[in-house]
Amino acid sequence: MEDQESQEIILNGIGGSPGICIGKAYLVDKEGVDVVKKYIVRESFLSAEVGRFKTAVKKARESLRQIIDNTPEELRQHAQILETHMLLFKDKMLYDRTIEVIEKERVNAEWALKKVVSLVKPMFENMTNDYLKQRAEDITHVADRIMENLVGGDHVNIARIDKRVILVARDLSPAETSQIQLERIKGFVTNRGGRASHTSIIARTLEIPAVLGVGNATLKINNDDIIIVDGGAGTVVVNPTEQTLLATEERREQYEIHKALMVRNSYLPAETKNGQRISVMGNIELPEEVVSLLDHGGDGIGLYRTEFQYLSRTDFPSENSLFENYKDVIDVMGHRPVTIRTLDINGDKAVNYIRDNQEPNPALGLRAIRYCLRKPDIFQTQLRAILRAAAYGNVRILLPLISGIEEVEQAFEQIDEAAETLEKQGVAYKRDIPVGVMIEVPSAAVTADILAEKADFFSIGTNDLIQYTLAIDRGNRHVAHLHQPLHPAILRLIKGTCDAAKANGIPTYMCGEMAAEPIFAPILLGLGVNELSMNPQTIPVVKNAIRSIDTTGIDGFMEEMMRLTTPNAIQDLLAHQFGSVVPRIGISEQER
């Protein structure tokens, strides 16, 4: 037993999909793709080298098309992710640039492709937005498929795995993940990736445990090793002891029972024991996630991120394309609210990743509402699509990264202009819809009383609000521990925002990660937040937590809490007062 204990290893990563599984590891070996040699190609052979590259692309496209056509029914809605990869095969920044490097530098196709990818990927990886950062993975997955055809590598066929195993790989592309057979694959672990990746989204759809971004999983885990994957905590235990196995199995059974109970009761309203009701909504970025949201009892969509429709193309989407996408979501949601956030990226990077005019600090640069106001033609296209879709349901517009009243006023002018042009053209639309402001910049929170005079609602984005207020990058491991939702400064900004909204008769919502942590529910209710929005899988747990709370006399608790000076002191008070009825769940803890 002593020898066995010495072999137990705990690896830490990012929880991509909650749940616990125990089983044998199955290593997916794709290491050969990384070994690329450079050699000079004689001019007379350059056209043949370009032809070799084009043939590799063609084969990769055909292979992916076959996977799309054979996608299981439960993942059919995710075919759009794979269609995105089909587009990338012909993307001018990847395809044309590789051919250009072959011809100009007279190098082999493998080296040219590797060079182009090395230029493209950092532009996404250096972005602060988690969603955009993960788009670097899409480029990698597509390039890997091409590279395998160039070097003669065999692509892993996950559909042919005939054992009950846990997959361990450097990375799994959405195409590979979509081939997972639920009766055979218990879960998976990867070196790369994060919660915002499409692979992670598919794992959550399949509801199988996944831990991503482990870094060295393929080096530390061998074929047939017994491993434990905890997708909630973001941990992998390799060669667990008998004691660890018994404890984990008990925890897994408790989790499954708890999960079944939560989901079974998820249709019930989120109402405290003393009758205070709050809406619990879902955050989505793909239309396909609507099904999961409804299955988990979501009262509506509190945040519909629209960036994917721009990033999945080689040019800007048309008004009709956007309209159809929004309408599909609205039709499924029926009478429930659908909050559509306007474009929250720098459009140049969405269309043309390889420009030399990169901003030195994109997080504080021309993005979100700033970009939309600078590019009114792009903004008008989206606004017209939203107003047209609004005629079919309960739609709200949410304006991101607002820092002052001028931006709100200019945005309202743009919305009015979009409505006027639709009116003149005789196109069906709805202008009388709520337009809200995201409170994620400290200046917006401090001037919430001014913004409340114009906005129809506030939606607090705690991820950026915490990051900007405390001047920390939560993706930086050296300072990530400072990302404290219970910091007195954050609580004061939230309180000020809620107070200003209440004084002006408008509601305050929250769509940041803080909303997804059940233990924070009493504080958010006490501060005056009217609606919470989160990852769909977290909805049942948060709704259950709210039903466990009695907010009678919470004003006294809030007064005591607001007098405290450190996050730890506030955490202790919260645990003392509500810890027995509202547990932490750890799903969002790993992201802090």
Binding residues for phosphoenolpyruvate: 305, 341, 463-464, 474
What are the DSSP E strand ranges found in 427-578? 435-439, 457-460, 508-510, 531-534
Amino acid letter, 460 = I
**Listed residue (52, 318, 19) closest to 189, CA to CA:** 19
Structure tokens at 183: 């009766």
Q: Write the DSSP string, 60-113.
A: HHHHHHHHHHT--GGGGGGHHHHHHHHHHHT-IIIIIHHHHHHHHHTB-HHHHH
What distance in Å separates the CA atoms of residue 191 and residue 219, rounded to the nearest whole number?
9
Closest CA to 288 of 206, 350, 213: 206
Tokens of residue 57, six digits = 């692309």
> Which residues share a beta bridge with 26?
167
Is 582 within 8 Å of 520 (Cβ atoms)? Answer: no
Helices (H), 152-183: 174-177
Per the CB < 8 A criterion, the answer to whether 229 and 24 are in contact is: no
| CB atoms inside a 10 Å sphere around CB 315 | 10
Show the tokens assigned to 340.
Answer: 């559509």
Distance CA 439, CA 506 (A): 14
Cβ atoms 209, 231 nearer than 8 A = yes
Number of CB atoms found within 10 A of residue 405's CB:
16
Please enumerate, by residue number, every residue annotated as part of a binding site for Mg(2+).
Answer: 440, 464
Q: Would you call 177 helix, strand, or coil by DSSP?
A: helix
Q: Residue 83 corresponds to which tokens in the numbers above?
A: 């269609």
The maximal CA–CA distance of the chain, rounded, in angstroms, is 84
Q: 457, 402, 590: which is closest to 513 by C-alpha?
A: 590
Candidates 151, 111, 135; CA nearest to 31 is 151
DSSP 234-284: TEEEES--HHHHHHHHHHHHHHHHHHHHHHHTTTS--B-TTS-B-EEEEEE
- Residue 489 sits at φ, ψ, to 5 deg, of -65, -40
Q: Which residues are catalytic?
A: 198, 511
Rounded (5°) CA angle 130-132-135: 115
CB atoms under 10 Å from CB of 342, counted, come to 23
